[in-house]
Structure formats: C-alpha cells, structure tokens
Copies of this chain bind each other. A is one copy, B any other.
Amino acid sequence: MNNFVYFNPVKVVFGKGSIASLSDLIPKGQKIMLAYGGGSIKQNGVYDQVVKALKGYDVVEFSGIEPNPGYETCMQAVEIVKKEKVEFILAVGGGSVLDGVKFIAAASKFEGGDPWKILSDKAEVKSAMPLGSVITLPATGSEMNAYSVVSKKSTNEKFAFYSPEVFPKFSIIDPEVTFSLPKRQVINGLVDTFVHVVEQYATFNVNSPLQDRQAEAILNTLVEISKDVLNKENDYESRANFFWCATSALNGVISCGVPQDWATHMIGHELTALYGIDHAQSLAIVLPRVWKYNLELKQQKLLQYGRRVFEIDGKDNKKTALKVIKRTEKFFQKLGIKTKLSDYKIDAKDAAEKISERFKTREAKLGEKEQLTYKDIKKILKKC
C-alpha cells in the first residue's frame, strides 16, 4: 500500500427528517446565503423544510446555479456575498449547486486576481467562506469532500479544483428528498457513483486488500439495489442505501493508499463541455474504452472485480478481462444509459480531434501512471 494522508472533517447528518437539524448546525445569528438551482426544491418541499429550519436567521437567497455550474453564475453570487456581508453559504440541491457553492466560497475570499485561476491555474485557495449543504441528489459525492467542478460557458471549459478550505462544515442527507427525482437523474447517479468507485479501484495492484474490498462493497451494493432504486416508488431503504453508496464512493476512504485513474472523468468532462451530454452519459461511454486501451495495466484488478462483483471467471485472463468490461457496459445499458457516442449523435472522429487537441495544448497526461498522452486519448475517443 502507498503512503497516504486521510482527512475529512465533514459532519454527515443522515436520515429521515434530518433537514430540521439545520439550526443546530449553523451558528446562531449568522447571515446566510441560501443557494440553489433551478427551483425544483420549491416543488418537492425541500425549500419549505429549509426555510422553516432557518427561521430566525437573516437569509439572502441566490438561485439559478445550473447543472455543470457556470463560473459566470458563481461570480454573480460572489458579488452578493460581498455586498450583503454573508457569513455562511448553504447549498441546497445536487452536486452542481454544491460544487458551485464551493467555488463561490473560495472565490469570495480569493485575493490573487480573477478567481477563474483557482480552476484554470490551480491557484492556491488560502481561505474560504464556511459552507454547508442539504444534498438532494445521490451522485457526485460532493457532500463529503473538498472537490468542485466548474465550467466556463464562454469558452466551453470545465475544470476541477480541490481545497481543504471548502469541505462542507456539514451535509444533511435525507433520502426521502430523492423520491421526486426524474428517472434520468437517478440512472445518472447510479452510473456516476459506480464510475467514481472503479476509477479508484481498477488500476494496478499495490497490495491493498482492505481498500479493494471497501470499493467492491460499494459496487456490489449498487448492483444489488439498483433494481429497487429504479423501480420501487418511494422506497426509503433502497434510496438510503444508494445515497450512502454515493457519498462513500468519493469521501476519500477507498482511495487511501492506492493509485487512482481519473482518465474517464477527465475525457468525459470534455465531452460534456463540448457536446452538452450528461456527465454520467460521458462516463458510461468513455470508461469501457479506457479500460480496453489499458487492458494489460489493469488486468489483475479487472479480473478480481469480475470475480467478486459479477462472478465472472475464466482460464484465459485477457479474454476474461474483456468479458468483464463488456459486462460492465451491459450493466450501464441495463440501468438505461446509452454507451456510445453515436447514440447521442456525436461523431467520434470529430470528438477525438477536438478533445485530443485540448489535451495537447494542456500537455496533459492522464491515467494512474500518467500513461495517456493526447495521442492515446485520440485513439480512445475514436473507439467511443
């Protein structure tokens, strides 16, 4: 196992009725920015629960944080934070709202010029506004980490940043709030969670049996519960288990001391930025091709994963590993997500050209051994 540092100070308040605990979590008397998205929280009752719990606080609202939160939108919020002397930002919504709020929190205190540098140049975040979340979508895991992904609409760019300063002070997870989610978002969340796990797992072996099994614990649970999650209406148990899988997938536990491969996410981000497909759709397309392209490097883990999650075994290692990749793609398809660029009317050649060019400019190297240059990315995308 590799050396590692693990630190995650987020307080998770999980379960039915947990939104009511907001007033125990935010210091009394603070001026709060209540940040949310397109207003779905007004239809599903979450907004009302939050407003009720925040009675007595001085609250300024900021709505309109969009999916793949926009730098431009976030900067409007930063202005309000400064003008209104906001002391605490509460994100209410999915991962996009929370990612936006993390950036708003960092940008509000950034003193190094244009806060876009936090994303484009990985400029250091020395401090940030305190923030918390009521998370409504099991998917990104943003509720229990210090990552954020923000897009610049004007240039079709999408970047991630990390800073311990933007750990939420708390995240409230009430699985009941997912009952009103459109099916597409539930499917996306399942795929996103699954891919988060395998990107920290399907790499090369470093003798980490516990972390392997912790990752497989999430994968097996997702496979086991996905039918109920998708088909049983208002089923608290499957939604609770799903949400805890999503949070656990990206809270740092399974990545302790192991190599990570975020190539699928990195390439996927570009597909989303350029063609507007959903984040999870981009992952379902790219992952099988990244795996196939790095078959030798990942073979041992793919075989273990195949055995322990899908009960696939075989004598020929290469053939078996390919079977495991196919089985994974089929799992995504069975959930109801399409796994080819052509399914979304995107020309693979066009995507390969445009996206590899971007990675060339950035001199980026992707993969668990930084083994993928823009040339490899081009080949991978052509197979998508």
Contact = CB atoms under 8 A, between A and B. Distances in A.
A223 to B, nearest CB: 10
Interface string A14-47: 1111100000000000000000000000000000
Contact of A14 (B209, B218, B248, B256): B256
A241 B11 contact: no
A4 B10 CA distance: 14
Given A213-B220, A216-B213, A217-B214, A207 B241 contact: yes
A60 interface: no
A120 interface: no
Given A209-B225, A214-B214, A225-B209, A5 B1 contact: no
Interface string A182-224: 0000000000000000000000000111110110111011001
A13 B225 CA distance: 35
Q: How many copies of this chain does one complex carry? A: 2
B225 A221 contact: no
B241 A210 contact: yes
Interface string A226-259: 0000000000010011001100100001001100
A63 to B, nearest CB: 29
Contacts of A154: none
A45 B84 CA distance: 56
Contact of A5 (B5, B13, B216, B224): B13
A210 B216 contact: no
A257 B15 contact: yes
17 contacts: A1-B15, A1-B237, A1-B240, A1-B241, A3-B16, A4-B12, A5-B13, A5-B14, A7-B9, A7-B10, A12-B256, A14-B256, A209-B241, A210-B221, A210-B245, A217-B217, A253-B253
